[in-house]
């Protein structure tokens, strides 16, 4: 089968021909139709995170159909979504406490398990989702990471009504729709001078959009940082009111510069979001069709994955990039 493979952290992504994977007991073989591109893929390719099992086929927002299965709940022909969380041990203190996203022995798709930038992928059936019928494959793909880890971040902001999004990409374009549905106000912060993304945010219902150098018109109740830039942390803390929260939603961020304790004082909180639980996925996939969340997708071929990653890096994508396979 054709696949895009990375030989090591910071290595080269290459189109290769590799054997179709053999599903282990409890796994299903899935013919991939679409795989969403995530900022985490950039961090894997750049070697910002390097706990993967190499060589690796990245890609963890996978939509496809089961072509081989001995699992009764996922028969041949069933459409499934395969997310970042690919395996947990079920026994460690985190799994036992309902925090499988923090499992000591977790394996992640497209990182420690082979991912979806390939014609086929084998996945542990327990970690596959059945997708809502109202979403075509292409539109469903961005829900599987941007959507559901984003949804976990959104819930961490609890009741925050005035919500700031630092970095307005794939996750923010989905969460703005959900936040609005929940009666919240979204304030979108983009790179300096990125008027196109500010327009995009306003079109999705953001109350205000500007760049990070501009003063916000209100004090925020909460903020989510999607951009991997540590200097946004003190900035976001200064934009939230007393008791407000700042959530860091990415897997990697540059170092956070030191800042005065006064910026955190007043019971402001700062927290990261790590991975997802299967429960997060079930909740998001139930909520998305009710909103209904509409994902805006730019389509790329498998061989054009490096182009999609470059476009993501340089901020040329409004919404989500998705790789499609025939």
Is there binding between residue 15 and Zn ion (CB under 5 A)? no
DSSP-derived letter for residue 47 is: T
Beta bridge partners of 297: 320
Strands 79-82 and 62-68: antiparallel
Residue whose CB is less far from Zn ion, 70 or 104: 104
**Which CB atom, from 178 or from 220, has the smaller least distance to Zn ion?**
178
Instruction: Rule CB under 5 A: choose which of 4, 103, 206, 325 binds Zn ion.
Output: 103
Phi, psi angle pair for 45, to nearest 5°: -65, -40
319 contacts 295 by C-beta, under 8 angstroms: yes
**Chosen residue from 1, 18, 67, 89 binding Zn ion by CB under 5 A:** 89
Choose one: 102-110, 112-120, 121-129, 219-227; the region binding Zn ion (CB under 5 A): 102-110
Evaluate whether 8 touches 54 at the Cβ level (below 8 Å). Answer: yes
Give yes or no for a contact between 55 and 139, defined as CB atoms under 8 angstroms apart.
no
Nearest to Zn ion of 239, 277 (CB atom): 277
- Taking the complex as a whole, the smallest distance from the CB of residue 242 to Zn ion amounts, in Å, to 33
| SS3 assignment, position 8 | coil
Tokens of residue 125, six digits: 């059936």
Nearer to Zn ion, 121 or 220 (CB): 121
Phi-psi region of 77 (alpha: psi -120 to 50; beta: other; left: phi over 0): left
Residues 245-264, interacting with Zn ion (CB under 5 A)? none
Residue 320 engages Zn ion in binding (rule: CB under 5 A)? no
C-beta of 149: minimal distance to Zn ion in Å? 6
Q: Residue 321, interface with Zn ion (CB under 5 A)?
A: no
> Residues in contact with Zn ion, total (CB under 5 A)?
8
| Cα–Cα distance, 54 to 52 (Å, whole number) | 6
Q: What would the two tokens of residue 242 be?
A: 């007393």
Contact pick of 16, 18, 42, 92 for Zn ion (by CB under 5 A): 92
Residue nearer to Zn ion on the CB measure, 33 or 88? 88
Residue 194 burial (CB count, 10 A): 19
Is 276 a binder of Zn ion (CB under 5 A)? no
Closest CA to 141 of 251, 64, 223, 225: 64
Q: Name which of 20 and 274 has its Cβ closer to Zn ion.
A: 274
Based on the shown chain and the rule CB under 5 A, indicate whether residue 95 belongs to the binding site for Zn ion: yes
Helix (H, G, I), strand (E, B) or coil at 233: helix
The CA angle 133-121-297, to the nearest 5 degrees, is 45
Beta carbon nearer to Zn ion, 38 or 209: 38
Rounded least distance, CB 308 to Zn ion, Å: 14
Footprint (CB under 5 A) of Zn ion, residues 143-162:
145
Element containing residue 172 per DSSP (H, E) = helix 170-181
Q: Within positions 35 to 64, which residues make up the interface with Zn ion, using CB under 5 A?
A: 38, 40
Minimum CB distance to Zn ion, residue 124 (Å): 13
Give the shortest CB-218-to-Zn ion separation in angstroms.
30
Give the nearer residue to Zn ion in terms of CB position, either 146 or 237.
146
Contact 180, 156 (CB under 8 A): no
Shortest reach from residue 173's CB to Zn ion, in Å: 14
Q: Calculate helix-pair angle for 170-181, 195-203, nearest 10 degrees.
A: 30
Of 97-105, 108-116, 180-188, 240-248, which segment contacts Zn ion by CB under 5 A?
97-105
Give contact residues for Zn ion (rule: CB under 5 A): 38, 40, 88-89, 92, 95, 103, 145
């Amino acid at each position: 089968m054709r696949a895009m493979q990375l030989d090591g952290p910071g290595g080269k992504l290459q189109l290769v021909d590799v054997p179709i994977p053999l599903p282990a007991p409890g796994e299903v073989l899935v013919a991939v139709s679409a795989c969403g591109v995530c900022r985490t893929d950039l961090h894997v390719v750049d070697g910002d995170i390097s706990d993967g099992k190499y060589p690796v086929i990245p890609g963890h927002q996978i939509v496809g159909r089961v072509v081989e299965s001995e699992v009764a709940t996922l028969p041949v022909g069933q459409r499934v979504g395969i997310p970042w969380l690919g395996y947990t041990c079920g026994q460690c203190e985190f799994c036992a406490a309902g925090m499988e996203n923090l499992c000591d022995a977790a394996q992640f798709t497209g990182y420690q398990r082979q991912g979806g930038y390939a014609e086929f992928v084998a996945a542990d059936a327990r970690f596959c989702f059945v997708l809502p019928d109202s979403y075509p494959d292409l539109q469903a793909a961005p829900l599987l990471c941007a959507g559901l880890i984003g949804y976990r971040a959104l819930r961490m902001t609890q009741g925050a009504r005035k919500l700031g999004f630092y970095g307005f990409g794939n996750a923010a374009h989905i969460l703005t729709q959900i936040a609005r549905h929940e009666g919240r106000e979204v304030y979108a912060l983009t790179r300096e001078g990125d008027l196109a993304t500010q327009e995009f945010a306003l079109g999705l219902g953001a109350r205000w959009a500007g760049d990070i150098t501009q003063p916000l018109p209100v004090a925020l109740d909460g903020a989510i940082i999607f951009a991997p830039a540590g200097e946004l942390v003190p900035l976001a803390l200064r934009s939230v009111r007393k008791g407000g929260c700042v959530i860091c939603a990415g897997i990697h961020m540059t170092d956070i510069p030191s800042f005065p304790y006064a910026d955190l004082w007043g019971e402001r909180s700062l927290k990261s979001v790590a991975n997802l639980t299967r429960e997060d996925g079930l909740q998001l996939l139930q909520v998305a069709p009710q909103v209904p969340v509409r994902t805006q997708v730019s389509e790329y071929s498998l061989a054009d994955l490096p182009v999609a990653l470059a476009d993501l890096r340089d901020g040329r994508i409004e919404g989500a990039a998705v790789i499609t396979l025939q």
